[in-house]
Amino acid sequence: MKAIETTGKIDDRGRLFLARPLALANYSHVRIIVLVPEDTDIDPDDDAIETVLEGLQQGFHEAITGQTLPLSQLWDGIDDN
């Protein structure tokens, strides 16, 4: 059996919607394990996947358009209190 991890949402009617399509060919039956976070599992510092993807897209755009700084300059003033 092959395992694929993805995210999704369950609507008010109990239907599962995946965040993105699975690249599977000719599979008719699957086993689903649904992991639901408990209140203690929620970390307010965790970013949603959409937020992470937006940041990556912005960073890539800045890199290809030359909106970057030399690595040595990024450390300037980091130890200043």
pLDDT of 42 > 90? The answer is: no
The average pLDDT across 5-23 equals 87
pLDDT of 62 > 80? The answer is: yes
Q: What is the pTM of this model?
A: 0.41
Q: What is the pLDDT of residue 13?
A: 93
Query: How far is residue 63's CA from residue 34's CA, in Å, rounded to a whole number?
Result: 38
Q: Within 10 A of 41 (CB to CB), how many other CB atoms are there? A: 9
Higher pLDDT: 78 or 81? It is 78
Q: How confident is the model at residue 67 (pLDDT cuts 50, 70, 90)?
A: confident
Q: What is the pLDDT of residue 40?
A: 67
